[in-house]
Structure 1
Amino acid sequence: MSKRVVGQNNSIAAVIGDQDTVTGFLLTGIGEKNLKQETNYFVVNHETKEDDIQKAFKRFLSQKNIAVILVTQQIAEKYLRTLITNHDSIIPTILEIPSKDAPYDPRKDAIIINANRQLYGTDV
């Protein structure tokens, strides 16, 4: 059973990332499968099509029980930037995380950029 996110009843987190990142989160107990056999995680590798990544992301956005979507920043930058930038709801919250192949860069994080705009009037 997956760990529940505090704040909403039966809320869960979803993750999109490389094999190692997703496996790490699955080992913490984040993995879940719904009645349609859909999982709350999506593994991306060099053979994964951009359309499949975007479909998984949109599915996570539409699921009422997902409160947080974790996406490796490298995948967010390459495949999901427009979708993330256009997402304006608080829930689900989209968090960009580092992967073992690419360190976190706050200058590319949509949440950080938006916060800087609101607080300081600049992107960085």
Structure 2
Amino acid sequence: MSKKLSGSGNKLIAVIGDTDTVTGFLLTGIGERNIKGESNFLIVEPDTKEKLIEDTFNAFLRNPSIAVILVNQHIAEKYLRHIISNYEEIIPTILEIPSKDKVYEPKKDSIMQRANKLLYGSEIK
């Protein structure tokens, strides 16, 4: 499986998540490390500093090679909600995903809330 999105000018998928989530995506082949040693993934452990998570996420947002950023919802909620809620670009697309231990809640996903409001005129309850 290719780690790049076909037909998109060799764009990457980035992932920020717990060990199981990131490992699962790396096993599919999305892992990438450039010449500078920068990767397109971050494993968030209980002792991972909030600044590292925010800095990595912001670097992914600025990276023109990244088309999609996958983030475990519980990590987005705890560390990145203030950035995601204000994000208005289409690319890279931010997708909040469940983790093995945490259930996905659409009402907490600010992107889903905006989409639902645009499409149906109301937020998810």
Which TM-score band (shorter chain)? over 0.9
Matching residue of 1:83: 83
Matches within 5 A, 1:1-124: 3-124=3-124
Provide runs of 4+ in structure 1 moved above 2 Å: none
- Given that residues 60 and 69 in structure 1 are in contact (C-alpha distance below 8 angstroms), is that contact kept between their aligned partners in structure 2? yes
Question: For the residues of structure 1 that align with 2:44 and 2:2, how far apart are their CA atoms?
Answer: 21
Superposition TM-score, scaled by structure 1 size: 0.95
Q: How many pairs align?
A: 124
Question: For the residues of structure 2 that align with 1:52 and 1:102, how far apart are their CA atoms?
Answer: 22
Question: For the residues of structure 2 that align with 1:58 and 1:38, how far apart are their CA atoms?
Answer: 13
- State, as a whole percentage, how many aligned pairs show the same letter: 59
- Given that residues 2 and 12 in structure 1 are in contact (C-alpha distance below 8 angstroms), is that contact kept between their aligned partners in structure 2? no
Letter of the 1:70 partner, please give it: L
SS of residue matched to 1:86: coil
Superposition TM-score, scaled by structure 2 size: 0.94
Structure 1: state its 5+ residue gaps.
none
Q: CA deviation at 1:11?
A: 0.2
Letter of the 1:18 partner, please give it: D
Question: For the residues of structure 2 that align with 1:75 and 1:86, how far apart are their CA atoms?
Answer: 16
Change (3 A) 1:113 1:7: farther
Q: CA deviation at 1:2?
A: 5.3
Question: For the residues of structure 2 that align with 1:39 and 1:13, how far apart are their CA atoms?
Answer: 11
Letter of the 1:44 partner, please give it: V
RMSD: 1.3
Letter of the 1:16 partner, please give it: I
Q: CA deviation at 1:118?
A: 1.0
